């Protein structure tokens, strides 16, 4: 089949067979290709060789401290939303060796190890995670120092984004202006329309890969139909703020009032709510692990038994630990309240001062994966003094 | 989507450079100054630092420690680091002899505004080991003495035997630097001042509109120094402090050194008090 | 609390001991009684110093806080004592943190109003300032002794006292 040139900005349609061809083309081009798979009762990224491995017919039900998968015949390939993983772990690995030191004849030779950076294609990235990626780009690439490992892996990343057709109760991308529609930063973007897909070409590389697939040009009705998917979802999300009564037993649908949030939080550093949330918070650091933008890490030397071979390793860390902020005199943030306050004021307020955007993309993972269902939208509302929504609040 | 990034000046900022200890001077109990020279002459030739900046000194197997550079920036033969033994890394360094290797990453951080405050009267107000990060600024002021007005050093330690660099004070006085020293507790032969550094302000009439205060030492001391300066109508943007937090990367990646919006490693350690004050006095922050 | 009861309560406070009754009444006019629970914060170091306090019952602990070291108690004030002198002496911010280690009852007085009373009647002002100076002098003496105790053995005698041997 002759390759069909797919220019940037163009729209085409493909069916399930061509989606498989896309997957094959990515592997053939040297990309390890991953996509959403069901493993251990959750949807996480795994090697994707066949579209049959995608979780078609499954939906995720998310709420504070709760994640469940349900079979649903009407669910498409991508009607689930985000699981506990984001792109973070692929560019900023949980553990990475930064420096190798070998002692020969009493002298240390220190060298940077070869960066482990292989081409990676990710299928199924949502708008919130694309924004999170841009935020992490600022941290690791946009400052006075560039992290070489992140840079090398970032340059080899291929992204097949997906426009969400559905939101979980814990999603609030609309409040953070990070979705639901994908708006850039992708190589290809898919919108699922009744078992076929509208494809938008986002980059020259995306066009090259798509050229290996038998696509059909999209009609203007198809392009419009895809746009309507996002528009309807956005309208539904925006409607949450004014929803008076949610259905009995249904999870509360989240949104976050971000009006003046920077000054609101930094002007309330002694608000009693911090002590109140600290009574519930376990400082377990789940939120920081699942958060797609959290970047705190610790750096430690690991030695072999001889003591002549030392690896300097960076590992994910969390501001909820006692070791996170220290001076010679001891731990700075001694209480859970001060640590929760640090996490929230950083994520929603001082991140703006540091990087020019919010640190939160509204993915809702911190709400879903908190074992005690702490919900930052609720915490902010309490500090703002807003009344909680009609449905039951908290555990 | 692929993202091409411009190369930075430093190929890999995580890699430490090998250096040798060429001199060790015992200063006061638990404190010594280590003079270092890079093994690679190219690295040595290219290295420049500004007063107030620090290096990450690395001992493989133990880790890194952020140590302010305490030598004269215009002196290119070696780099001095005045180190107080506090944890595993500094203990490991304290076991070293002249000739031994030590690894260095740096320089990092913001610097004292010695350029910006030309023409001003300068008050250095410091305590304990806090004189070490200020010493490069003192040298720089002495090297351009005519560019500054009155220069006063207010310095305090717990005891007289804890006073750093006393052997240099005569040379500094000879360069028209007014030095006032105080201790928390006097000793047998101490005839000098007993009290805290902020009290030393009472001895001087300062002109608020032409005075810059540079302060480094225990947090409480810096807070009260700032208090005394503000009480004398010195503007907060003309008061500078050096903040401290333990660091892991010194580059703004690991997040450990944050105070509010600031990374002490790259937005500091030197901060003007107008920026510092809203966050530095919040408890547990 | 009615003004009469407040006046009688104030008269019994050690800090106002022997203050002319009409002066006490003027203070009662601008005072409020506040209850604090265990571990309540009365004011934080660095906060704007708008009020001074007289302790009715319970106690207040003064603390100095530094990052990493946490908050260290340096002094306890008990019933009858003055708290928050910074405000009265024109300092715009409190120089320590005040907490109630157990439930306590404090009289809060707005300093701007109090200073106005001093301006209107200098004799009243003199009386108030003299009491304040006395209270602080006592505290200074106590702090000196505390210093000697804290540094204790680390404090060698001055050379004149060393006995020849």
Residue A160 dihedral angles phi and psi, to the nearest 5°: -105, 105
Q: Does B159 touch chain C (CB under 8 A)?
A: yes
Q: Is residue A5 part of a domain?
A: no
Separation between Cα atoms, residue A294 and residue A282, nearest integer Å: 18
A322 to chain C: closest CA residue = C68
Q: Which helix (H) or strand (E) holds B253?
A: none
Cβ–Cβ under 8 Å, residues A362 and A130: no
Decide if pLDDT at C121 tops 80: yes
Question: In this structure, is residue C5 part of a structural domain?
Answer: no
With an 8 Å Cβ cutoff, are B283 and C71 in contact? yes
Cα angle: A182, vertex A187, A192; to 5 degrees: 50
Interchain proximity A350–B261, CB inside 8 Å: yes
- Quick: pLDDT tens for A327-357: 888 899 999 999 999 999 999 999 999 999 9
Q: Note whether A269 and A362 are same-domain residues.
A: yes
Q: The CATH number of the domain where C141 resides is what?
A: 2.60.120.10
Instruction: Closest CB to C158: pick one of B186, B219, B259.
Output: B186
> Do both B145 and B95 map to the same domain?
no
- Give the chain C residue whose CA is nearest to the CA of B244: C67
Q: Is residue B63 helix, strand or coil?
A: strand
Report CA torsion sign: A358, A363, A366, A367.
Answer: positive
- C162 and A CB contact within 8 Å: no
Cβ atoms C84, C47 nearer than 8 A: no
A391: pLDDT confidence band, cut at 50, 70 and 90? very low
CATH of the domain at B91: 2.40.30.10
Which residue of chain B is at minimal alpha-carbon distance from C94?
B227
Last residue of a domain, one of A195, A212, A241: A241
Q: Is 80 exceeded by the pLDDT of residue A387?
A: no
For residues B206 and B129, state if they share a domain.
yes
Domain span at residue C141? Answer: 32-150
Q: Which tens digits make up the pLDDT trace of C63-98?
A: 988 888 888 888 889 899 999 988 888 888 898 999
pLDDT band at A244 (very low <50, low <70, confident <90, very high): low
Look at A266 and B3 and tell me if their CB atoms are within 8 Å: no
B96 and B153 in one domain? no
Q: Output the six-digit token pair for B171.
A: 């040379």
Look up residue B242 and give its two tokens: 């050096």
Same domain, A123 and A231: yes
**Would residue A392 count as lying in a domain?**
no
d(CA A68, nearest CA chain B) in Å: 31
Is the residue at A97 inside a domain?
Answer: yes
pLDDT given for residue C91 in this prediction: 82
* Pair (B72, B131) in one structural domain: no
**Cα–Cα distance for residue pair B126/B197, rounded to 1 Å:** 7
* Residue A177: pLDDT over 70: yes
Number of residues assigned to chain C:
165
Domain stops at, among B108, B129, B153 = B108
In the predicted model, what is the mean pLDDT of residues A165-178?
97
Task: Indicate if A272 and A217 belong to the same structural domain.
Answer: no
At A162, is the secondary structure helix, strand, or coil? Answer: strand
**Sign, Cα dihedral of A380, A382, A385, A386:** positive
Range of the domain at B21: 17-108
| Total count of domains within chain B | 2
Residues B181 and B223 in one domain: yes
Q: What are phi and psi of B83, to 5 degrees?
A: -120, 130
Chain C CB contacts of B245 below 8 Å: 67
Of A360, A393, A387, A361, the residue nearest A375 (C-alpha): A393
Residues 6+ apart with CB under 8 A from A103: A109, A307, A308, A309, A310, B60
Task: Give the B window 94-113 contacts with A, CB below 8 Å.
Answer: 101, 103
Tell whether B235 and B132 lie within a shared domain.
yes
Query: Do A235 and A282 sit in the same domain of this protein?
Result: no
A327 at interface of B, judged by CB pairs closer than 8 A = yes
- Of C66, C70, C156, which has the smallest distance from its Cβ to B187's Cβ? C156
Does the beta carbon of A326 lie under 8 angstroms from any beta carbon of chain C? yes
C139 touches chain B (CB under 8 A): no
Look at A329 and C67 and tell me if their CB atoms are within 8 Å: yes
Same-domain status, A30 and A106: yes
Q: What is the pLDDT of residue B283?
A: 87
Residue-range definition of the domain harbouring residue A95: 11-62+71-241
Tell if the CB–CB gap between A327 and C70 is shorter than 8 Å: no
| Facing residue for B185 by CB, picked from C66, C71, C151 | C151
Domain-embedded: residue A229: yes
- pLDDT band for position C160 (cuts 50, 70, 90): very low
Asked if B188 lies within 8 A of C158 by C-beta distance, the reply is: yes
Residue C157 is predicted with a pLDDT of: 56
Q: Provide the number of CB pairs (under 8 Å) joining chain A to chain C.
A: 17
The residue ranges of chain B whose pLDDT is under 50 are: 1-9
User: B235-244 burial by CB neighbour count: b if 16+ within 10 A, else e?
Assistant: ebebbbbbbb
Rounded to 5 degrees, what angle do the CA atoms A146, A148, A151 make? 80
pLDDT digits (tens, 9 = 90+) for A180-212: 999 999 999 999 998 799 999 999 999 999 999
User: In chain B, which residues have their Cβ closer than 8 Å to the Cβ of C67?
Assistant: 219, 245, 259, 280, 284-285
A352 has a chain C CB within 8 A of its CB? no
Question: Considering the domain boundaries, does residue A224 fall inside one?
Answer: yes
- pLDDT tops 60 at residue C158: no
Determine which helix (DSSP H) or strand (DSSP E) holds A163, and give its type and residue range.
none
Q: Which stretch of DSSP H or E encloses residue B30? A: none
B202 within domain boundaries: yes
Q: Does residue A373 sit within a domain?
A: yes
Q: Are residues B125 and B235 in the same domain?
A: yes
The answer to the question of residue B282 being in a domain is: no
Model confidence at A3, pLDDT cuts 50, 70, 90, reads: low
Last residue of a domain, one of A189, A210, A241: A241
Partners of residue B253 in chain A, C-beta under 8 Å: 139-140, 145, 147, 295, 297
Tell me: pLDDT of A393 over 80.
Answer: no
Residues A203 and A302 in one domain: no
The answer to whether residues A137 and A214 belong to one domain is yes
In a domain, B3, yes or no: no
Contacts of B130 (CB under 8 A, 6+ apart): B215, B216, B217, B218, B221, B242
Taking an 8 Å cut-off on Cβ atoms, the answer to whether C66 and B220 are in contact is: yes
Confirm whether C164 is domain-assigned: no
List the 48-77 stretch of C: residues with Cβ below 8 A of A.
66-70
Mutation pick from C68, C72, C97, C99 vs chain A, by most beta carbons of A within 10 Å, is C68
Residue A339's φ and ψ, nearest 5 degrees, are -75, -40
B118 close to A (CB below 8 A): no
- Whether B128 and B78 map to the same domain: the answer is no
Give the pLDDT score at B175: 97
What chain A residue is nearest to C47 in terms of C-alpha separation?
A: A270
pLDDT for C44 beyond 70 = yes
Assess contact for B263 and B252: CB atoms under 8 A: yes
pLDDT at residue B1, rounded to an integer: 43
Query: Please, what sign has the CA dihedral across residues B96, B98, B104, B110?
Result: positive
Nearest to C156 among B188, B219, B259 (CB): B188
Q: Which chains touch A (3 or more CB pairs under 8 A)?
A: B, C
Compare all CA atoms of chain B with the CA of C154 and give the residue at the minimum distance: B185
Statement to judge: residues A119 and A223 lie in one domain: yes
Asked whether the beta carbons of C84 and C50 are under 8 A apart, the reply is: no
Is B13 within 8 Å of chain A by CB?
yes
Condensed to tens digits (0 to 9), the pLDDT of residues C91-109 reads: 888 989 999 998 999 999 9
DSSP state of B61: T
Neighbours of chain B (3+ CB pairs under 8 A): A, C
Q: What is the pLDDT of residues A123-139, one digit of tens each?
A: 999 999 999 999 999 99
CATH code for the domain of B187: 3.40.50.80
Asked whether the predicted pLDDT for residue C164 surpasses 90, the reply is no
Does A274 lie in the same domain as A219? no
Task: With CB atoms and an 8 Å threshold, state whether A145 touches B8.
Answer: yes
- Residues A107, A43 share a domain: yes
| A334 closest CB neighbour out of C41, C44, C70 | C70
Nearest CA in chain C to B280: C67
Do residue B285 and residue A206 have CB atoms under 8 angstroms apart? no
Is residue B88 in a domain? Answer: yes
- CA neighbours closer than 13 Å in the CB half-sphere of residue A219: 4
| Interface contact B183, partner A, CB < 8 A | no
* pTM recorded for the entire structure: 0.91
Q: Are residues A172 and A213 in the same domain?
A: yes
In this structure, the answer to whether residues B161 and B190 fall within a common structural domain is yes
Query: Could you tell me if B132 and B190 lie in one domain?
Result: yes
> Which pLDDT does position A371 carry in this prediction?
98
Q: Give the DSSP H or E segment for A158.
A: strand A157-162
d(CA A214, CA A13): 9
Three-state DSSP class for B153? strand
Structure token pair of residue B238: 């003309």
Hey, is the C-beta of B184 within 8 angstroms of any chain C C-beta? yes
Q: Is residue A391 part of a domain?
A: no
C44, B283 Cβ separation under 8 angstroms: yes
Q: Of C39, C46, C96, C160, which to mutate for an interface test with B (greatest number of B Cβ within 10 Å)?
A: C46
C44 and B CB contact within 8 Å: yes
Condensed to tens digits (0 to 9), the pLDDT of residues A90-135 reads: 999 999 999 999 999 999 999 999 998 999 999 999 999 999 999 9
At residue A41, the 3 state secondary structure works out as coil
3-state SS, residue A267: coil
Chain centroid to CA B3:
39
Mean pLDDT value of segment A6-12: 93
Best to test chain A binding among B4, B5, B249 (most A CBs inside 10 Å): B5
- Indicate the number of domains in chain A: 2
| The pLDDT of residue A1 | 43
Closest CB to B63 among A300, A307, A345? A300
Tell me how many degrees the CA angle A326-A327-A328 measures, rounded to the nearest 5.
130
Please tell me whether residues A231 and A269 are part of one structural domain: no
- In this prediction, residues C113-119 reach a mean pLDDT of 95
Residues B87 and B188 in one domain: no
Contact A326 C68 (CB under 8 A): yes
For residue A180, is the peptide bond before it cis, meaning its omega torsion is within 30 degrees of 0? yes
| pLDDT at site C35 | 96
pLDDT of the residue at C143: 85
Total count of domains within chain C:
1
Query: Which residue in chain B is spatially nearest to A143 when comparing CA positions?
Result: B252
Q: Please give, rounded to a whole number of angstroms, the shortest distance from the CA of C69 to a CA of chain A.
A: 5
With an 8 Å Cβ cutoff, is B14 touching chain C?
no
């Amino acid at each position: 089949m002759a390759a069909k040139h797919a220019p940037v900005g163009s729209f085409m349609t493909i069916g399930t067979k061509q989606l498989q061809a896309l997957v094959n083309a990515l592997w053939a081009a040297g990309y390890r290709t991953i996509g959403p798979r069901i493993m251990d009762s959750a949807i996480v990224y795994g090697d994707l060789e066949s579209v049959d491995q995608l979780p078609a017919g499954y939906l995720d039900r998310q709420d504070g401290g709760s994640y469940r998968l349900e079979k649903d015949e009407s669910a498409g390939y991508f009607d689930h939303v985000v699981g506990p993983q984001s792109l973070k772990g692929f560019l900023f690995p949980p553990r990475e060796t930064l420096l190798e030191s070998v002692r020969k004849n009493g002298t240390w030779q220190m060298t940077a190890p070869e960066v482990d950076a292989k081409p990676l294609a990710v299928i199924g990235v949502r708008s919130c995670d694309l924004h999170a990626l841009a935020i992490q780009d600022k941290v690791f690439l946009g400052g006075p120092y560039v992290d070489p490992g992140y840079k090398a892996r970032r340059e080899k990343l291929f992204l097949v984004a997906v426009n969400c057709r559905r939101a979980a109760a814990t999603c609030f991308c609309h409040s953070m202006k990070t979705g639901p529609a994908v708006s850039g930063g992708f190589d290809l973007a898919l919108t699922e329309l009744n078992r076929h897909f509208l494809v938008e070409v986002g980059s020259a590389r995306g066009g090259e890969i798509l050229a290996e697939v038998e696509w059909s040009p999209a009609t203007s009705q198809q392009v419009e139909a895809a746009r309507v998917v996002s528009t309807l979802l956005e309208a539904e999300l925006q409607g949450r703020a004014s929803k008076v009564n949610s259905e009995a037993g249904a999870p509360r649908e989240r949104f976050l009032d971000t009006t003046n949030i920077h000054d609101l939080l930094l002007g309330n550093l002694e608000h009693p709510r911090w002590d109140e949330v600290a009574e519930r918070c376990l400082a377990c650091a789940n939120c920081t692990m699942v958060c797609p933008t959290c970047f705190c890490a610790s750096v430690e030397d690991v030695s072999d038994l001889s003591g002549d071979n030392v690896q300097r390793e960076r590992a994910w860390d969390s501001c909820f630990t006692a070791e996170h902020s220290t001076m010679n005199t001891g731990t700075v943030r001694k209480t859970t309240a001060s640590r929760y306050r640090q996490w929230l004021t950083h994520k929603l307020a001082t991140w703006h001062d540091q990087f020019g955007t919010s640190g939160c993309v509204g993915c809702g993972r911190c709400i879903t994966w908190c074992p005690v269902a702490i919900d930052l939208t609720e915490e902010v509302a309490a500090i703002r003094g807003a009344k909680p929504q009609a449905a039951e609040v908290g555990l | 989507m692929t993202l091409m990034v411009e190369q930075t000046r430093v190929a890999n900022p995580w890699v430490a450079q090998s250096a040798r200890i060429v001199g060790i001077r015992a200063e006061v109990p638990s404190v010594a100054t280590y003079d270092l020279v890079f093994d690679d002459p190219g690295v040595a030739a290219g290295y420049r630092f500004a007063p107030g900046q620090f290096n990450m000194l690395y001992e493989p197997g133990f880790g890194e420690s952020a140590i302010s550079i305490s030598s004269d920036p215009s002196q290119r033969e070696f780099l001095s680091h005045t180190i107080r033994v506090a944890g595993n890394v500094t203990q490991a360094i304290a076991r070293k002899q002249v000739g031994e290797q030590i690894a260095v990453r740096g320089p990092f951080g913001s610097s004292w505004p010695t350029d910006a405050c030309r023409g001003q009267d300068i008050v250095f107000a410091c305590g304990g080991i806090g004189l070490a990060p200020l010493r490069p600024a003192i040298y720089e002021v002495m090297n351009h003495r005519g560019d500054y007005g009155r220069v006063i050093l207010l310095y305090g330690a717990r005891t007289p035997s804890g006073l750093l660099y006393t052997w240099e004070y005569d040379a500094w006085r000879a360069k028209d630097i007014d030095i006032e020293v105080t201790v928390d507790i006097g000793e047998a032969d101490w005839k000098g001042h007993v009290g805290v550094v902020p009290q030393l302000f009472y001895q001087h009439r300062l002109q608020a509109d032409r005075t810059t205060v540079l302060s480094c030492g225990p947090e409480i001391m810096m807070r009260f120094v700032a208090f005394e300066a503000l009480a004398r109508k010195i503007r907060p943007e003309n008061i500078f402090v050096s903040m401290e937090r333990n660091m892991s990367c010194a580059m703004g990646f690991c997040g450990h050194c944050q105070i509010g919006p600031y990374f002490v490693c790259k937005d500091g350690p030197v901060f003007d008090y107008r920026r510092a004050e809203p966050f530095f006095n919040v408890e547990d922050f | 609390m009615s003004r009469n009861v407040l006046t009688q309560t104030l008269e019994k406070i050690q800090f106002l001991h022997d203050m002319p009754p009409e002066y006490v009444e003027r203070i009662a006019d601008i005072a409020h009684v506040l209850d604090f629970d265990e571990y309540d914060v009365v004011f934080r170091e660095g906060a704007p110093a708008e009020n001074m306090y007289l302790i009715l019952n319970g106690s207040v602990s003064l603390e100095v806080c530094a990052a990493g070291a946490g908050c260290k108690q340096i002094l306890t004030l008990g019933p009858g004592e003055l708290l928050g002198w910074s405000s009265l002496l024109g300092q715009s911010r409190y120089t320590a943190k005040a907490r109630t280690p157990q439930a306590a009852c404090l009289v809060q007085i707005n300093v701007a109003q109090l200073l106005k009373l001093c301006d209107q009647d200098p004799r009243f002002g003199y009386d108030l300032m003299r009491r304040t100076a006395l209270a602080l002098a006592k505290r200074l003496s106590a702090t000196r002794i505390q210093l000697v105790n804290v540094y204790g053995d680390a404090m060698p005698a001055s050379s004149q006292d060393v006995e020849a041997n």
